[in-house]
A and B are shown apart, each in its own frame.
Chain A
Amino acid sequence: MEYLADFFHQFGGQLQSPTLSFLIGGALLAALGSKLTIPNPIYQFVVFVLLMKIGMKGGVEIREANLADMFLPAIISVIVGVTVVLLGHVIFSKLGGVKQADGIATAGLFGAVSASTMAAGMVMLEEINMPFEAWVPALYPFMDIPALVLAIVLASVAREKMEKGKDHKVDTWAIVKESLRGSALSALILGILLGLLARPERVLLSFYEPLFRGLLSILMLVLGMEAWSRLKELKEVAHWFAIYAFIGPILHGLLAFALGYLAHLWVGFSPGGVVLLSVIAASNSDISGPPTLRGGIPWANPSSYIGASTSVGTPVAIAICIPMFASLAQLVFSN
């Protein structure tokens, strides 16, 4: 019981962090019909700076890291990405009133990764002084790309079965290229390469680092506003999407937490690394995943998967999953 009280105490404390309060503030503004808008170019700039900073910092530290340590967590990331999609596909196929393609696309988006949720998770870990390996953000594509590819393949195979004779070939390489070219992954990979191959420390410390938290708060505000404004779209599709979007991130994060814990026992994966891996698993793609799915599964209704992800999935991943996994780690790893 004492453990449980401890857990809820930590959980409550983390709900007051600036990251979450800006998210809630954004949703509140939209709910009250505020005329405040954040222009799109500013949002794109914010995402760029955040991902460049995460990438460069990772790249700089990867230079000195032992990359063999990354092997098992990378395999776990692929397993989680694939499992989330398969699990989601099975769950949605058993629910009434859900079109198969909509279910698969939603599962694909929840298997994919959100850069903003990952950034929020990193700030939370810094706030509670829980260190993690610098290469953990580089696990992003290992989970993101297999999930999107699998979702598009599953949806295409299902359509082929329904419309016998019609050929729906899936160009896997095109999906991988599309994912890598998305703005979030492009900035992250460029940052990692610059950190690895160049010496960007001075610009990283003088420009990117000091801006990080402030810009993240703006991003959270935008996500809060977006979450509220997309609720209307979600209301127009089956209520199962909202239920899945609420429970899914928690389940997916717990699955990654369990596998990450095994990696902790086997190869010494750090507790902070386990939490960040769980946050990556709990997150659902909000920037680059939707256009990849839109291109790959055009017959799925974007209102279902985007509404589920941005209105419910992302707020749950940020507001519930991040503090929950951090508290869980403090509980599990302190014993």
Chain B
Amino acid sequence: MFHNATKLVIVTEHFMCKKVCDIIEDCGGKGYTLVPTGGKGLHHLHPTLDQATVIEGFDNLKIEVVMSNQEKAEQIAERVVSECFEEYPGVMYLEDVRICRPDRF
């Protein structure tokens, strides 16, 4: 029932979300999951939603995309690094996952 796939996780600032999601779709991603998040980075604490962030767009989001084709996931990662992470902060990693209904990824 389960098939091997690759999950790419990108944590970045909210206002970078559209750009990252455009890259995902451009590279053939059929969908993605957005999760509000927070935590500590290299420079400072990024608050979670239980605390007001006065400034819009600086809250953090975790963008998850699962791809049945690992090469495509890596292609997304390369583009996100070169187009977004040169000037904006972000964290990114790949995970091996097991999925059902592979035609959806």
Contact = CB atoms under 8 A, between A and B. Distances in A.
Contacts, number: 60
Contact of B54 (A41, A42, A226, A298): A226
A42 B57 contact: no
Interface stretch (A132-140, A247-255, A284-292): A284-292
B56 A290 contact: yes
Nearest to A114: B54
A40 B55 contact: no
A225 B43 CA distance: 20
B49 A40 contact: yes
Given A233-B44, A298-B88, A183 B56 contact: yes
Interface string A291-321: 1001100110011001000100000000000
Interface size class of A (residues with CB under 8 A): 20 to 34
A182 interface: yes
B57 A290 contact: yes
A39 B51 CA distance: 4
Given A43-B53, A291-B55, 15 more contacts: A37-B50, A38-B51, A38-B52, A39-B49, A40-B51, A40-B52, A43-B54, A226-B52, A233-B44, A286-B55, A294-B88, A295-B15, A299-B87, A310-B54, A310-B55
Nearest to A46: B52
B49 A37 contact: no
Given A233-B44, A295-B15, A298-B87, A37 B51 contact: yes
Contacts of B59: 40
A64 to B, nearest CB: 34
Contact of B56 (A39, A41, A291): A291
B56 A222 contact: no
A20 B4 CA distance: 59
A43 B55 contact: no
Nearest to A288: B56
B58 interface: yes
Decide if the interface of chain A is mainly helix, strand, loop or mixed: helix
Interface string A171-196: 00000000000110000000000000
A4 B15 CA distance: 48
A223 interface: yes
A223 B54 contact: yes
Interface string B36-67: 00000001100001111111111100000000
Given A290-B57, A291-B58, A294-B15, A43 B52 contact: yes
Interface in B87-104: 87-88
B87 A40 contact: no
Q: Which 4 A-B pairs have the closest CB atoms?
A: A291-B57, A43-B52, A298-B87, A37-B51
B12 to A, nearest CB: 12
Nearest to A301: B43
A166 B71 CA distance: 32
Interface string A81-117: 0000000000000000000000000000000000000
A39 B55 contact: no
A286 B53 CA distance: 10
A90 to B, nearest CB: 26
A158 to B, nearest CB: 16
B54 A294 contact: no
Interface in B17-50: 43-44, 49-50
Contacts of A294: 13, 15, 57-58, 88
B100 to A, nearest CB: 34
A38 B49 CA distance: 9
User: Which has the most chain A C-beta neighbours within 10 Å: B43, B52, B54, B87?
Assistant: B54
Contacts of A232: 44
Given A233-B44, A298-B88, A222 B52 contact: yes
Contacts of B44: 232-233
B87 A222 contact: no
